[in-house]
Structure 1
Amino acid sequence: MPVESLKLKSLELGNTKLQTLNLRVCRNLETLNIDQCEDLVELDMPVESLMLKSLHLGNTKLKTLNLKGYRNLERLEIEQCEDLVELDMPVECLMLERFHLSNTKLKTLNLKGYRNLERLEIEQCEDLVELDMPVESLMLKTLHLRTPKLKTLNLKGARNLEKLDVEQCEDLVELDIPVESSLMLKRLHLGNAKFKTLNLKGCRNLETLDLEKCEDLVELHMPVESLMLKTLHLCTPKLKTLNLKGARNLEKLDVEQCENLVELNLPIESLELKRLSLQCCKLKTIDLGLTPILDRLDIKDCNNLIEIHAPIGCLKQIVHITLSGCVRFKPFSVNPWFPDFGSSAELHLIARSLDICPLHPDNNLPKFQFECIYKERLPTSSTGNLEKLLSFGLCACTDLVTFSESICGLQCLGKLTLVGSISDVPNNLDQLECLEELTFSSTIIKHLPDGICMLKHLKVLQLKSCWLLEQLPEDLGRLECLEELYLTECIFLRHIPGSICEMKRLKCFHLPYCVLVEKLPEEIGQLKCLKELNIEGTGINHLPPSIFQLKGLLIDGSRWRLESYGFTSVFDRSTYTSYCYI
């Protein structure tokens, strides 16, 4: 540089291979920006420079930096200087407003004389073990730290701090913040710290609180009243209780991996809570009656959860529910319908029998675990079905009478599917006045209740692999709107009631592999709408003469069986299946 560079006020260097830079004569420099000078190992600065206001150093190999004479610095940024081990700062620097430090090897940093600092960011300084803050930092509004070896942090003088972000401070065991005067603090994020207690009683204006992987935290003191708190995220495995009674305006609560949390106290009325997420905690009960505008509910792996209290109407705003990992449901999911679907709801239940209920091992009631999929147009639901399903209970012990009443009490249900270890069909199915499709699959039921014949709007009835089913209701023909009847692999079924010939709208009648069925009703020819008949694998040796009145009827079966009926034009679908037309 020139011997005298008194007029130079701004210097910017980037992507050079300079190894040394002498700026001793540049005493009036105001802005210095050196970036991506990866070979720079020596920087000679003036001993004193009262004019320099902004200094940025990035990606250099400097080991030391002397800024003692730079008392009027306003902005200082040192980043990616991974060899920097010594930084000499002025004892007092009242003009410095913003200081950013990252990826250095500094072990100590003394900022006691920096009382007007407004923003401090220290990131990836993995050797920093000591940070001295001013006794009083009334101007400090934002502090971000990512310093794995820092053990203590004293912020008692930072009474006007608005945003505090401390993460990956894995050795931090002590955090001192103003107990009664943190009225300005709006956002607090603490991650991977080791402190055991956190006192936030004075943080009455906090809007966002995020405690992530604070694995040693056992005590959290919240303000008596937190009217500004809108978002709270906790991941604190050792925390046992959480008191949020004063957080009446909370909008989002996310509690995960709180493996010892047994008590959660919400406000008497959480009028603003829209999202509630609970994962891996030990809560036994949840009261959704306190959250009237909830639109998203996620509960995962809360194995101790026994009861969800959900009064009718409390989920009228809900658009998403996921419930999994509890004893009762694995999982319970709600899928909003697409706009082109009708207004009726759907329920699909897959039941698995359990030997024991982990929550009530001595209970004698039957034990079931369900996979539940419920579909309904949301959030305009007014049926109360979700509340009924969630309030049924979450342990495996199942009172079958109560279970039957819960299912049959659902409103506007258009489709019901029951699969698995279900031994009894709900007795009051006739209460499901809107039901159009009913399916039983792989159940162990032996008969269908007569009430099923009262489903005046039923269009589809399916019985799939119900191996123990022995008989159908004699009045099945009262299902006057039925269009499709499927009896698949009902291997103990022997008799098809003659009343089915009264189903004037029946289009499809399938009974493949009902091996003990030997004949069809003689008046089957009355089914003028019948288009498909599948008798593959049955014991039917002859067809009723009336069936030949159904011109165009498609019959599925084995080739040899169809030919034994006298059909000559038989076509193959596959090696084992053929078809013909009347």
Structure 2
Amino acid sequence: MAFPINQGDSFSSFTHWWNYDVFLNFRGEDTRNGFTGHLYHDLCDKCIKTFIDNDFQIEEEISEELLKAIRSSKISIIIFSQNYAFSTWCLDKLVEILNCKQNGQLVLPVFYKVDPSEVRKQDGNFKVALTEQEIKFKNNIEKVQRWKATLKEAASLSGWHYEDGILDENALSLQKYNMVEPTWSSSLSTRSNSCLHMGSDKIRSIMWCSPNPITVQLHAKAFKKMENLKFLMVHNVLISKELNYLPNELKLLEWHEYPFSLPSNYCPQQLVVLEMPRSCIRLEKLFMQVHEAIGSLDKLKHWTLSNCKKLQILPSTLRLKSLEDINLCDCVSLEKLPDLGAPNLEELNMKNCENLIEVHEAIGSLDKLKHWTLSNCKKLQILPSTLRLKSLEDINLCDCVSLEKLPDLGAPNLEELNMKNCENLIEVHEAIGSLDKLKRWTLQYCKKLQILPSTLRLKSVEDIHLGGCVSLEKLPGLGAPNLKYLNMFGCENLIEVHEAIGSLDKLKHWTLSYCKKLQILPSTLRLKSLKDINLCDCVSLEKLPDLGAPNLEKLIMENCENLIEVHEAFGSLDKLKWCILRGCKKLQVLPSTLSLKSLEFISLCGCVSLEKFLNIHPEIKCGRLNFGDNNIREWLLSLKYLISGLTQLSLDNCQNVGDSLVSISGYI
């Protein structure tokens, strides 16, 4: 099946700067002998120099030669398939491709028999694959997080959706890359200007790119004879003179860092895509010139103004009924977002609009909006008073440091809510507690947050992050049967954890470190899926109860200075690998017998109140023991079972080891 990329002298001129026109990133076992193989041959037949990796994966790391091939390609095509994320090679190459995108590489995703939302939200096979990667790279979880972020970014790009032999261009608005013959492209060879000066009404598309910024002398009427030009893409090309003419038939206009206003006689009613990031364009002047034509462009689907740092005002009247996404990222001078008149808007990116104060009330009624990013809008204080965002899937309010209250979003389909570093947030609306499709909720470092919804019925939520919410005193009942991750790190004033938390039978990871005022855990705990719990520096906790956690692998209670007793049940956790009780100065009571068959490391360093060491089951083969700085007086003979398999033993400043330990060990 042929791709909508055309032959001609367009791509041959790229090779002056790049080794390859196209780099293919794909999972071999899924598509090598099918879709990808046919695509590769189609591209080669059109004289498009394409790199395909014909070697099967034999190493964990991708080679330097492969990295060079990615970096020296003008375009990367990513073919997402069902098993794509199971391959670390594919994921590592994807990271490099997205890095190259920042330097001007064109990146085009193809969703081969997978839904783009499955990749973006990491559901289905992608969820399974990434869970496996988390297990495989448990000691390098940052790598997996980087893969997740890169997948989300790549899946948010415009791309092709291939399903059962049909390439659906309309669904993902790929008209912007559909180069209609004949196409003219240039890598700024000597003939570039002469071709533009001559012009021709036969030219339909121009892709004018340079790997490095360059300034050219372009005639003001260079495009005068190109009346049928549909697509104009310019990257890293600066012109020294203002243009007097642009064709009115343009459907795609993408010109990065355009230094002037658009020509006064340009009427852009045919535009489907307008991308002018980092440009100095003065929109208010443009709109007056063309009688606010942009505001009534009923065909415009994609509008990018990212990094237009001097942009202060958007048109007062906007009627963009076909608009699907608008990117205002890093428009640091923009103070107000007006009514966009965009009933079909799906994505609104306002990241780093640092001076944004106000969002128009009409934005609250965009019932097709799916993705809304407001991160680092530091002056934003008020969201629309009424929000009915019934299609909203994720909203990012990270670093909105002036926001004091989160209202009812009217978003029954919300899956991700990020409010990290909303330092002045005090209250979350009661309705947020009933978002039964919410999967991830981040409130990390909301330092003034005191009030959560009194009732939380979040039946789909898997991850809640409350780390650094230092004003929070009580965690209410969590009706969250699917919760897996609960992070309450540094909730210094937390006194109470609701009894319902003890029944979260899918909870795997629970962090309560530095909850300095926490005295009591739920009286009944049935945490059958729990793998690790971190109670480090919970200095007010006196007793560790039975967690009802048969699958617990890691217990961290370092510096629990007032801990006196550990429940007897901990002695029978046969999957426990790490037990760290270092610095528990008042600890006196441990389980009478340790039957921890999986134990790898135990630390009782600094447990100065512990006088008797516990009985050891013969099956324990622990590798590392740390008993330094304690006053243990009685060492049972069963200690020999631990010593027999040791690779590391620390007894620093143990005053009472004596001859008994020497006789037990037989080798000291």
Written as runs of structure 1 = structure 2, the 5 A alignment for 1:24-423 is 26-27=200-201, 29-36=203-210, 38-43=214-219, 44-45=221-222, 50-66=227-243, 70-81=247-258, 84-88=259-263, 92-108=267-283, 109-110=286-287, 111-132=294-315, 134-146=317-329, 147-176=331-360, 178-179=362-363, 181-193=365-377, 194-199=379-384, 201-224=387-410, 226-235=411-420, 236-243=422-429, 244-265=432-453, 268-281=456-469, 282-287=471-476, 289-309=478-498, 311=500, 314-327=503-516, 367=540, 383=550, 398=562, 404=565, 407-410=567-570, 412-413=572-573, 418-423=581-586
1:220 offset after TM fit, Å? 3.0
Name the CA distance, whole Å, in 2 between partners of 1:487 and 1:26: 82
1:388-415 deviation line (CA, Å, top 9, x unaligned)? x99x9x99895x6xx53x6235473357
Counterpart of 1:35, as a letter, is C
Name the CA distance, whole Å, in 2 between partners of 1:310 and 1:250: 22
TM-score normalised over the length of structure 1: 0.63
Counterpart of 1:73, as a letter, is L
1:155-212 deviation line (CA, Å, top 9, x unaligned)? 3412221011112222222222525531100010112222211126121220011112
Residues 92, 113 of structure 1: 8 Å contact kept: no
Distance 1:32-1:395 versus aligned 2 partners, 3 A rule:
same
- Greater Rg, structure 1 or structure 2? 1
Distance 1:409-1:138 versus aligned 2 partners, 3 A rule:
same
Residues 183, 204 of structure 2: 8 Å contact kept: yes
Q: What SS is found at the alignment partner of 1:178?
A: helix
1:253 offset after TM fit, Å? 1.0
Identify unmatched segments of 5+ residues in structure 1: 1-7, 333-342, 355-366, 495-508, 513-531, 535-553, 557-582
Distance 1:222-1:91 versus aligned 2 partners, 3 A rule:
farther
1:478-499 deviation line (CA, Å, top 9, x unaligned)? x8x98569996764699xxxxx
Residues 328, 395 of structure 1: 8 Å contact kept: no
1:13 offset after TM fit, Å? 2.5
Residues 63, 86 of structure 1: 8 Å contact kept: no
Name the CA distance, whole Å, in 1 between partners of 2:302 and 2:248: 17
Counterpart of 1:276, as a letter, is I
Distance 1:85-1:510 versus aligned 2 partners, 3 A rule:
farther
Name the CA distance, whole Å, in 2 between partners of 1:214 and 1:114: 32
Structure number with the higher strand fraction is: 1
Match of 2:609 among 445, 469, 478: 445
1:135 offset after TM fit, Å? 2.6
Counterpart of 2:424, as a letter, is K
Count of matched residue positions in the alignment of Structure 1 and Structure 2? 445
1:328 offset after TM fit, Å? 6.2
Distance 1:208-1:484 versus aligned 2 partners, 3 A rule:
closer
1:304-338 deviation line (CA, Å, top 9, x unaligned)? 22233354763422333344333269xx9xxxxxx
Residues 279, 299 of structure 1: 8 Å contact kept: yes
Structure number with the higher helix fraction is: 2
Counterpart of 1:445, as a letter, is S
1:357-391 deviation line (CA, Å, top 9, x unaligned)? xxxxxxxxxx5799x9x9x9xxxx854979xx99x
Residues 506, 530 of structure 2: 8 Å contact kept: no
TM-score normalised over the length of structure 2: 0.56
Residues 435, 457 of structure 1: 8 Å contact kept: no
Q: Which residue of structure 1 aligns with residue 290 of structure 2?
A: none
Is 1:11 aligned with 2:184?
yes
Identify unmatched segments of 5+ residues in structure 2: 1-180, 288-293, 522-528, 644-648
Name the CA distance, whole Å, in 1 between partners of 2:389 and 2:324: 14
1:229 offset after TM fit, Å? 0.5
Residues 348, 418 of structure 1: 8 Å contact kept: no
Q: Which residue of structure 2 aligns with residue 527 of structure 1?
A: none
Name the CA distance, whole Å, in 2 between partners of 1:280 and 1:257: 4
Counterpart of 2:368, as a letter, is M
Distance 1:102-1:408 versus aligned 2 partners, 3 A rule:
same
Q: Which residue of structure 1 aligns with residue 53 of structure 2?
A: none
Name the CA distance, whole Å, in 1 between partners of 2:306 and 2:373: 14
Written as runs of structure 1 = structure 2, the 5 A alignment for 1:501-516 is 510-511=660-661
Residues 441, 463 of structure 2: 8 Å contact kept: yes
Counterpart of 1:171, as a letter, is N
